[in-house]
Structure 1
C-alpha cells in the first residue's frame, strides 16, 4: 500500500508523543504521488524522520538497488540528498552539485564551482560538502573556498554568487545552508587554523548580506559589532583576537517556526590551548555553545555553553534537533544535542534552560553535568594547559559523536545516534608558534610517537570503536545498541515503517528494527558510508537514497589509524533503493597495490627526526595520516616516489603540486624544517620496508603499518 496523508493516519503515534505541527503541515501539503525530502533534516526541526512506510519491517527484505550514479570525485561524500518534485539534488566533494531524475537516475545537470585545488590546505577534514538547500526554484550551495552560490533548479546555471569570507584567511565552507524566511543561512569552518567564527544570512533572491552574527568578540579596543559581544568579551583574557578565537559555525542549525527562533551550534577555540588563547582564563563565550537567534535580524535571544573554556575541540556543532516531549508529566518544547564531549543534552528551546544531561559514551574529562549551574563537573587532570602534563582521555577531539546526523522517531520516542570511542592523549605544545598554513592548536598531535610493532598498533586500534545507539531522551538512557569494530559510521534515517537505516565504515548499508535494533536487511555498498540516508516518493513509489564514499576525518589524520589493511574502499556513488529494485553494482576493482618502499639515502647529516615528527603531525598528518599511516584518501608518504630531496622540497616548499591539492608551505616551514620532515618520512618508509621483510606479511594491498 502506498503511503497517503489521510485523517486517520496523520497523528497515529505511540505513547501520545505529538508530531511537530510544522511536520504535519508539510506532510499535508505533499501530493499523493510525490513525497519530498525538501530540507536537510526533512523539516526545520531536523528530526530526519519520514512517515513513508511502504518500506517497512515486513517488506524490507524485498528492498533492492533501483539505480546508482557514479560520481566524478573519490574524496569523502557527506551530503544529505534533497528530493523536491521528483528530482534529487546532491552536492559532492569539492562543492560540486548534481541533479538527477529521482525515479530513473538520469543526470539532469551538473555544476562545478571550480574550487582552486590548493584551497584544500585550509580544510581540516577533507574537501567534503554536506549538502544543498532548495527553495522556490533555486538550489543553494556553499563552496569550500567560501562562496555561497544560488543555482537555477531547472538548469543548474548560477543565478548569483557571493563571497562570504575574507579570502586572505583560511576559512572554508563544508556545511549545508538552510533557508529560513527568505534568507539563506550559512556558516564556515577554520578554527584549527586561526579564524574568528560567524554565521551569516543572505537574501535568497539577491544574495545581498542581511545580517552577520559573530560568535566570539573581536578586538576590544574597537566597537563591538553587536552589544552581546561586550558581555562575551568579559569571559576572555589576553589578546585572543590576534589568534582568531574560533567558534566557527560549520554544521548544525535548526529552526522553530512557532517560537521564530534559529538555533546554531558553535565550534572549538582557536588555538585549542586556553592558556595560549585566553591566558588560561574564562569561559570564552560563545565557544562550544548553542545559540538562539532571530532569523530576520540575527538578534541574540539566549545561549547555553556546552563546554566552558573548551580546550579539547569539543564543538557544539553536532546536529541540533527539536521535538515536543513530556518531562515530569508536562509537555515541553525541547532542543536535543549529542555533541563531541559525550553528554546528551535536553534544553527548553524557548529559554535555553538545561533540563537534563547524561553521558551517552565513555567520558573521563568530566564526571557529570551540574543541573543547577549547567556546567560540567571537570576532572582537573583534563586541563592539560594548566597542569602542563599529558592526559589520556575519552572522548578525544574526534568526539563521542561528530557531524554524523542522528534521527528521531516520534513513535518510539528514541533518538538513533551514531557514537564512537576514540581516546586521545592531550598535551601542551611547548614549541607553539602561529603558522600561516597548517593547524594552530597549542596542543601536540600524534603524541607520543606511535609504536611500530604490529601488536602495539593493533592494540591502539582495538580501543577505537563505533556503535549505533538508540537513546531515550526523556529517561536519558540507552535502549539498545549495535556495536561496530570501527568508528566513523554514517548518519541515520528513521521511518514510520519501524526502521532505522544507517551506512557504516565497513561498506554495509543496513536497516534495523526501530524498537529493538534487530538487523533486518543489509547491502554491500563496496565503500564506506558516512552520509545520512533519506527517503522520498515519486509517482507513489518509495525510495531510499544515500551517498557512499569514504573520507573526511575518518580517512585522514588520526582517523586513518582505523584502516589497518586499506580495504576500506572509497568508491563515490549515489545509491537509490526501492522495493523489488533489480539493479546491481559492477564488481569492485581491486585495491591498487602499494609499491615497496625504497627510501633514498640523501639525508642531511644534521636532520632532526623528532622535530620532523612533530612538524609532520602539525602540518601534514591531518591529511596524510598520523604517523604517516594513510587510509588511501591522501597519498601514503611512506611509499611516495617524491622523497628525494629536490622533488620533496619542490612539492612541500614551492607548491609544485598545488593544482592537485598540495599547497606549498614556503613562509610557514623553513628549508631546514622541511628536511626534518623528509627525514622522518624516510625513517617511516625504511621501517615499513623492514617490517614487511621481517614478517613476510605483505598483503595484496602491500600494506605495512
Structure 2
C-alpha cells in the first residue's frame, strides 16, 4: 500500500487539497505591502518574527488566561531525524511551513496536520564538522509564491510554495572554507537577505542580498576589513584603524549568523554581528583595538547595503559575546518622549535600548551577573575590567557570562500591552585560559583559548558547586525601567524562546520537556504540557477559520547540549524524539506512550597508563568536545562515547581516522590526528566511563543506606 506521503507527491497540489479536510483560502503572493502590514494580518505568521518589527507578539485572544486550561494537542508530526529543532514555522493562507534538521523542509495543512509536501536539499552530512552548534536551521522566508532557506553547506534555495520544488539555488559561501548557515533569511523589497556562521573556524563574516526572483547577488556587506592594501570599501578602510597586525590572515570573524530586523518607515535594515576569530584578541589583533564590526549592530540600506550606523556592544570582544541575538523594534515613551528604539539582550549579559534612527545609546542594564565590565560611560561604551583581557594578561579569567551567553539565539518576545520583553536567561561561568600552543593552520575549532584547561573539573565537590551556580530562568524585562518585572527559575540553563499574546499569556518550552503558558503580567504558571523531549525553539500562534492554534518545534539540541554535556544538564530531557506540536482549545490528540530508555554502561577494561589518559584528554577536549560534550559527557544530542558498544571501541580507528561514519556527520580526523592520538582519545573515553561507573556505584550505595 502506498503511503499518504507518496500519494501526495504523485498528485497535483490542486487534487491533494481537494481531497483533504483543509479548505484553503486563496493563496495570495507575499508582497512588499503584505509584509509591511503583517502585524495586521492577525491569523498569519508571515516572517520570522511575525512582522518586520520582530516582536513575536500575537494579537489573537481566543486562548487566554481564562481559557488556556482547555488547551490540548490538536495534531502533531513526528520527524525521522534526532538532532536539535530550532525553527520558527511560517503560517501563510492556512499552510504551515517549517524546517527540520539537515535543512529538510515541510508543508502541512495548518488545521489537520496533513503533510502536503516535503523537500530534502540533501546536505552532505560531512559538513557537520563545519558546525559549531548542531545541524539546525531556524526557519524560512517567503516572497511572492516562493519560500527561501539557507543551508548548512552555504546554499540559498528558493522553493515553490505550492510544491516545494526548487526554483533556483545559489552558493553564498566558499565551500572550501568553514562557513555554514543556520539562520532564517529575511526578504525586504524583493531582496533575500542572508548571513552565515563559522566565526569559530577562521572565516571572514559578511551578509548579502539576493534578487528574490533570479537569485542574482545584489550586494554584499563584509563585517570586518580585509588587508588594507586590498580593501576597497570606504567604511571598511575607515574601521581598519580599529584593528592591528595581520588579522585578515586569521579570518577575523564577525559572522552574521542569526538576527535581522527591518524598519520600513526608516528604510533601515538592522543586522547583528558575531564574535572574533580567533576569540583571543592578543592573537587576532595584537591585543589592540575595538575590532569593528565585531559584536555590533549594523544598520544599512536594504537596496544597496550602504552603511548608515553601528553600535558595538562589546569593543575588542574576546569572549564570544556575539550581538547576533534577537533584535526587537518598538516605540517606547522614555522620559516623556516617544522614541523609536531597537532592543537586544546579546550574549554579554546586558539588555540594550538604542535609538534605531541614529544608533545612539539610550540605556543598558545587566540582566544576569556580569563581571567582565563595571558599567557604561556617557556614550554607552562598556568599561571593561583589565583582568578580563586574558589574552593580554596571559592569565586565566573566569568570566560571567560564559561564551554561551546570558541569553543566546532563542527568540525574545515583546508584548506592547504589558510593555515587557520575555526571554530565557542563564547564569553560567567559564574559564578563559590563553592557548599557548595556538596553531593558525588548524582546520578545526581554533579559538586561542585552551578548551582542555577549561574542562569541567572531575572533583565531585567542585562539580556540585559549579552545577549549583549554573541556572536557567524565564525573565520578563521592563525595557524602560531596565529591570526585571518577574522571573521564573527553570530546571536547566538551556531553554526555549518565547511567544507573547494579547490573551495575556507567554508561551515557552524548557529543557525538561515542559511546554508552558505563563500570565504575562505576573509570571504565574497557567498551563503545562509534557512534550517528551527538551524544547529550545520558540512557539508561534495563528488562526484558521476563526480558531486559534499555538505551534512549537520540539527537539532537544543546540550549542549547550553539544558542548557542555550532561554534567550541567542532568535535569534535561534528551529522548531523540522530534516533533512538531500544534495545540488548540479542546484538542484531543495523544502522543505515543512515553518511555525513558537508560542504556547500560559496560566499557571495556581500562588498561592505559595515566600519561596516555592525560594526553587523550587533551586531544579529546581539542577535537571532540564540540560534538560529544565536555569531559566525554554528552548532552544527549550526539552519542555519549562512554556508552559506546564493544563494536565501536573495536573499530575506533576506522571511525575516527577513516571516516566509517562520514555519512552520519562523523568525518575523518586524519588531517589533524594520527593513530596514536586516536588510541589515546579512546583510552581517555574508557577511563571516563570507569570513573562514571564508580560514581554511580557510590551514589547507589548512598541511596541504599
Q: Give the alignment's TM-score, normalised by structure 1.
A: 0.92
- Is 2:668 the partner of 1:664? yes
Aligned match of 2:18: none
Query: Is contact 1:643–1:678 with CA below 8 Å preserved after alignment?
Result: no
- Is 2:680 the partner of 1:676? yes
- Is 2:576 the partner of 1:564? no
Distance apart, 1:592 and its partner CA: 4.1
**Mapped partners of 2:39, 2:248: distance in 1:** 46
Decide whether aligned partners of structure 1 residues 477 and 691 sit closer, same or farther in structure 2, where only a CA change above 3 A counts: closer
- Is 2:190 the partner of 1:182? yes
- Is 2:141 the partner of 1:129? no
Decide whether aligned partners of structure 1 residues 222 and 98 sit closer, same or farther in structure 2, where only a CA change above 3 A counts: same
Aligned match of 1:140: 148
- Is 2:483 the partner of 1:483? no
SS at match of 1:561: coil
SS at match of 2:622: helix
Distance apart, 1:26 and its partner CA: 3.0
Aligned match of 1:10: none
Distance apart, 1:668 and its partner CA: 1.8
Distance apart, 1:697 and its partner CA: 6.5
Query: Is contact 2:606–2:690 with CA below 8 Å preserved after alignment?
Result: no
Distance apart, 1:68 and its partner CA: 0.5
Aligned pairs for 1:174-323 within 5 A: 174-224=182-232, 226-323=233-330
Aligned match of 1:16: none
Query: Is contact 1:642–1:648 with CA below 8 Å preserved after alignment?
Result: no
Distance apart, 1:35 and its partner CA: 1.4
**Mapped partners of 2:681, 2:53: distance in 1:** 47
Q: Deviations over 1:670-695 (max 9, x none)?
A: 33333332332232123223334444
**Mapped partners of 1:200, 1:476: distance in 2:** 34
**Mapped partners of 2:702, 2:579: distance in 1:** 30
Aligned pairs for 1:44-59 within 5 A: 44-59=52-67
Of residues 463, 467, 474, the one that matches 1:461 is 467
Aligned match of 1:652: 656
Decide whether aligned partners of structure 1 residues 312 and 448 sit closer, same or farther in structure 2, where only a CA change above 3 A counts: closer
Aligned match of 2:382: 376
Query: Is contact 2:433–2:454 with CA below 8 Å preserved after alignment?
Result: no
Where do 4+ consecutive residues of structure 1 move more than 4 Å?
Answer: 21-24, 642-646
SS at match of 1:556: helix
Distance apart, 1:449 and its partner CA: 4.5
**Mapped partners of 2:72, 2:150: distance in 1:** 33
Query: Is contact 2:548–2:584 with CA below 8 Å preserved after alignment?
Result: yes
Decide whether aligned partners of structure 1 residues 47 and 559 sit closer, same or farther in structure 2, where only a CA change above 3 A counts: farther
Distance apart, 1:667 and its partner CA: 1.8
Query: Is contact 1:446–1:626 with CA below 8 Å preserved after alignment?
Result: no
Query: Is contact 2:498–2:539 with CA below 8 Å preserved after alignment?
Result: yes
Q: Deviations over 1:16-69 (max 9, x none)?
A: xxxxx99994354x4xxx811111001011000011111111111111111111
- Is 2:102 the partner of 1:98? no
Aligned pairs for 1:447-526 within 5 A: 447-526=453-532
Structure 2 spans left out of the alignment, 5+ residues: 1-32
SS at match of 2:187: strand
Distance apart, 1:437 and its partner CA: 3.3
Of residues 75, 84, 93, the one that matches 1:76 is 84
Decide whether aligned partners of structure 1 residues 460 and 210 sit closer, same or farther in structure 2, where only a CA change above 3 A counts: same
SS at match of 2:359: coil
Aligned match of 1:341: 348
Structure 1 stretch 62-71 or stretch 439-448: which is displaced more? Answer: 439-448
Count of residue correspondences: 671
Aligned match of 2:638: 634
Of residues 74, 80, 85, the one that matches 1:66 is 74
Query: Is contact 2:533–2:573 with CA below 8 Å preserved after alignment?
Result: no
Aligned match of 1:527: 533
Q: Deviations over 1:294-317 (max 9, x none)?
A: 001111111001100000000000
SS at match of 2:567: helix
- Is 2:619 the partner of 1:595? no
**Cα RMSD between the aligned structures?**
2.0
Of residues 595, 612, 616, the one that matches 1:612 is 616
- Is 2:38 the partner of 1:26? yes
Aligned match of 1:86: 94
SS at match of 1:392: strand
Query: Is contact 2:195–2:257 with CA below 8 Å preserved after alignment?
Result: yes
Query: Is contact 2:363–2:380 with CA below 8 Å preserved after alignment?
Result: no
Distance apart, 1:355 and its partner CA: 0.4
Distance apart, 1:173 and its partner CA: 0.5
Query: Is contact 2:339–2:355 with CA below 8 Å preserved after alignment?
Result: yes
Decide whether aligned partners of structure 1 residues 697 and 625 sit closer, same or farther in structure 2, where only a CA change above 3 A counts: farther
Query: Is contact 1:435–1:668 with CA below 8 Å preserved after alignment?
Result: no
Aligned match of 1:411: 417
Distance apart, 1:606 and its partner CA: 9.5
Structure 1 spans left out of the alignment, 5+ residues: 1-20, 700-705
**Mapped partners of 1:275, 1:266: distance in 2:** 20
Aligned match of 1:428: 434
**Mapped partners of 2:320, 2:341: distance in 1:** 25
Query: Is contact 2:252–2:284 with CA below 8 Å preserved after alignment?
Result: yes
SS at match of 1:272: coil
Q: Deviations over 1:58-117 (max 9, x none)?
A: 111111111111012111000001000000000011111000000000000011111111
SS at match of 1:461: helix
SS at match of 1:201: strand
**Mapped partners of 2:408, 2:101: distance in 1:** 19
Decide whether aligned partners of structure 1 residues 683 and 215 sit closer, same or farther in structure 2, where only a CA change above 3 A counts: same
Query: Is contact 1:436–1:667 with CA below 8 Å preserved after alignment?
Result: no
Query: Is contact 1:533–1:547 with CA below 8 Å preserved after alignment?
Result: yes
Decide whether aligned partners of structure 1 residues 416 and 185 sit closer, same or farther in structure 2, where only a CA change above 3 A counts: same
Aligned match of 2:5: none
Q: Give the alignment's TM-score, normalised by structure 2.
A: 0.92
